[in-house]
Structure 1
Amino acid sequence: MRGHDRINTCLPDELIVEVFRWLDSKTSRDACSLVCKRWLALERLSRTTLRIGATGSPDLVVDLLARRFRNVHTVHIDERLNISLPTHPGRRRGTDIAAVLSVRLHSSNGSDDGVLDSNSLSDAGMTAIGDGFPKLEKLSLIWCSNVSSIGLISLADKCKMLKSLDLQGCYVGDQGLAAVGQCCKQLEDLNLRFCEGLTDVCVVELARGVGNSLKSLGITACAKITDTAMEAVGLHCKSLENLSLDAECIHNKGVVSVAQGCPALKSLKLQCINVTDEALTAVGTSCSSLEVLALYSFQKFTDKGLRAIGKGCKKLKNLIVSDCYFLSDNALESIATGCKELTHLEVNGCHNIGTLGLESIGKSCPRLTELALLYCQRIGNFALSEVGRGCQFLQSLHLVDCSSIGDEAICNIAKGCRNLKKLHIRRCYEIGNKGVVAVGDYCRSLTGLSLRFCDRVGDQALIAVAKCSSLQYLNVSGCHQIGNTGLIAIARGCPQLSYLDVSVLQNLGDMAMAELGEGCPNLKDIVLSHCRQLTDVGINHLVKSCTMLTSCHMVYCPGITAAGVATVVSSCPNIKKVLVEKCKVSPRTKRRAASVISYLCVDL
Structure 2
Amino acid sequence: MSFTVKKTKKKETSPVSPLNKRRASWSELWVNHHHHLLSPPPIAKSDLTLLLPDPTLLAIIAKVPSPHRKTLSLVCKRWSRLHGGLVRTVKLSDWGLLESGRLVSRFPNLDNVDLVGGCLNSGVVGLVSFTVGVGSYHQSLSFVEEERLLLLLSVDKVDSGLRALAAGCSNLRRLAVANASELGLLSVAEACTRLQELELHKCSDTVLLGVGAFENLQILRLVGLVSDIGLMILAQGCKRLVKLELVGCRGGFDGVKEIGECCQMLEEFTVCDHEMEPGWLGGLGYCENLKTLKLVSCKKIDRGPGLGECLSRCCPALERLHLEKCQLRDKNAVKDLFKMCEAAREVVLHDCWGLDNDIFSLAMAFGRVKLLYLEGCSLLTTSGLESVILHWHELEHLKVVSCKNVKDSEISPLLSALFSDLVELQWRPDTRSHLWLSLAEIGIGSKGGKFFKKT
TM-score higher than 0.5 here?
Answer: yes
| Alignment deviations for residues 95-129 of structure 1 (CA, whole Å, 9 cap, x no partner) | xxxxxxxxxxxxxxxxxxxxxxxxxx8xxx734x3
- Structure 2 alignment gaps of length 5 or more: 1-58, 119-124, 129-136, 142-149, 451-455
| Alignment deviations for residues 46-94 of structure 1 (CA, whole Å, 9 cap, x no partner) | xxxxxxxxxxxxxxxxxxxxxxx968547443xxxxxxxxxxxxxxxxx
Aligned mates of 1:258, 1:169 — CA distance in 2: 17
Given that residues 211 and 234 in structure 2 are in contact (C-alpha distance below 8 angstroms), is that contact kept between their aligned partners in structure 1? yes
Match of 1:292? 219
Given that residues 440 and 446 in structure 2 are in contact (C-alpha distance below 8 angstroms), is that contact kept between their aligned partners in structure 1? no
**Max radius of gyration: which structure?**
2
Match of 1:137? none
Instruction: Give SS of 1:390's match.
Output: coil
Match of 2:355? 429
- More helix per residue: 1 or 2? 1
Task: Give the 5 Å matches for 1:84-99.
Answer: none
Aligned mates of 2:60, 2:395 — CA distance in 1: 47
| Alignment deviations for residues 130-151 of structure 1 (CA, whole Å, 9 cap, x no partner) | 4xxxxxxxxxxxxxxxxxxx68
Tell me which of 226, 229, 232 is aligned to 2:161.
229
> CA 1:445 to 1:427, structure 2 compared with 1: closer, same or farther past 3 Å?
same
| CA shift for structure 1 position 351 | 2.3
User: Which residue type is aligned with residue 227 of structure 2?
Assistant: T
Given that residues 263 and 289 in structure 1 are in contact (C-alpha distance below 8 angstroms), is that contact kept between their aligned partners in structure 2? yes
| CA shift for structure 1 position 388 | 8.5
Aligned mates of 1:236, 1:488 — CA distance in 2: 63
> CA 1:382 to 1:373, structure 2 compared with 1: closer, same or farther past 3 Å?
farther
| CA shift for structure 1 position 309 | 0.5
Aligned mates of 2:406, 2:75 — CA distance in 1: 57
Task: Give the 5 Å matches for 1:103-502.
Answer: 126-127=70-71, 129-130=72-73, 155-159=79-83, 162=86, 164-168=87-91, 174=97, 181-182=104-105, 185-191=108-114, 194=117, 226-235=158-167, 237-245=169-177, 247=178, 250-271=180-201, 273=202, 275-284=203-212, 286-296=213-223, 298-299=224-225, 301-324=226-249, 326-354=250-278, 356-362=279-285, 364-374=286-296, 375-377=298-300, 379=302, 383=307, 389-399=313-323, 400-405=326-331, 408-409=335-336, 412=339, 416-417=342-343, 420-424=345-349, 426-429=352-355, 432-439=359-366, 442-446=367-371, 448-450=372-374, 452-453=376-377, 455=379, 458-459=382-383, 461-462=385-386, 465=389, 467-468=393-394, 470-471=396-397, 473-475=399-401, 477-479=403-405, 484-485=410-411, 488-489=416-417, 491-497=419-425, 499-502=426-429
Instruction: Give SS of 1:327's match.
Output: coil
- Count the aligned residue pairs: 354
- Structure 1 alignment gaps of length 5 or more: 1-68, 78-120, 131-149, 200-215, 525-547, 549-604
| CA shift for structure 1 position 310 | 1.3
Aligned mates of 2:95, 2:163 — CA distance in 1: 22
Given that residues 173 and 198 in structure 1 are in contact (C-alpha distance below 8 angstroms), is that contact kept between their aligned partners in structure 2? no
| CA shift for structure 1 position 353 | 2.7
User: Which residue type is aligned with residue 270 of structure 1?
Assistant: L
| CA shift for structure 1 position 323 | 1.4
> CA 1:252 to 1:75, structure 2 compared with 1: closer, same or farther past 3 Å?
farther
Name which structure has the greater RCO, CA cutoff 8 Å, separation 6+: 2
User: Which residue type is aligned with residue 429 of structure 1?
Assistant: L
Given that residues 369 and 394 in structure 1 are in contact (C-alpha distance below 8 angstroms), is that contact kept between their aligned partners in structure 2? yes
> CA 1:383 to 1:503, structure 2 compared with 1: closer, same or farther past 3 Å?
farther
Given that residues 252 and 276 in structure 2 are in contact (C-alpha distance below 8 angstroms), is that contact kept between their aligned partners in structure 1? yes
Match of 1:141? none
Aligned mates of 2:221, 2:229 — CA distance in 1: 16
Aligned mates of 1:295, 1:353 — CA distance in 2: 17
Percentage of matched positions with identical amino acids: 17
Given that residues 385 and 413 in structure 1 are in contact (C-alpha distance below 8 angstroms), is that contact kept between their aligned partners in structure 2? no
| Alignment deviations for residues 190-240 of structure 1 (CA, whole Å, 9 cap, x no partner) | 4567575659xxxxxxxxxxxxxxxx9x99999777321112234554443
Given that residues 163 and 184 in structure 2 are in contact (C-alpha distance below 8 angstroms), is that contact kept between their aligned partners in structure 1? yes
Match of 2:8? none
TM-score, normalised via structure 2 length: 0.62
| CA shift for structure 1 position 370 | 0.7
Aligned mates of 1:160, 1:511 — CA distance in 2: 54
Aligned mates of 2:409, 2:346 — CA distance in 1: 24
Match of 1:115? none
| CA shift for structure 1 position 427 | 1.9
| Alignment deviations for residues 26-59 of structure 1 (CA, whole Å, 9 cap, x no partner) | xxxxxxxxxxxxxxxxxxxxxxxxxxxxxxxxxx
Aligned mates of 2:234, 2:96 — CA distance in 1: 37
> CA 1:479 to 1:312, structure 2 compared with 1: closer, same or farther past 3 Å?
farther
| Alignment deviations for residues 520-560 of structure 1 (CA, whole Å, 9 cap, x no partner) | 46499xxxxxxxxxxxxxxxxxxxxxxx9xxxxxxxxxxxx
Given that residues 432 and 457 in structure 1 are in contact (C-alpha distance below 8 angstroms), is that contact kept between their aligned partners in structure 2? no
| Alignment deviations for residues 490-511 of structure 1 (CA, whole Å, 9 cap, x no partner) | 64232422x444138xxx7656
Instruction: Give SS of 1:289's match.
Output: coil
| Alignment deviations for residues 2-30 of structure 1 (CA, whole Å, 9 cap, x no partner) | xxxxxxxxxxxxxxxxxxxxxxxxxxxxx
Given that residues 319 and 346 in structure 1 are in contact (C-alpha distance below 8 angstroms), is that contact kept between their aligned partners in structure 2? yes
> CA 1:309 to 1:518, structure 2 compared with 1: closer, same or farther past 3 Å?
same
User: Which residue type is aligned with residue 327 of structure 2?
Assistant: D
Instruction: Give SS of 1:367's match.
Output: coil
| CA shift for structure 1 position 294 | 0.8
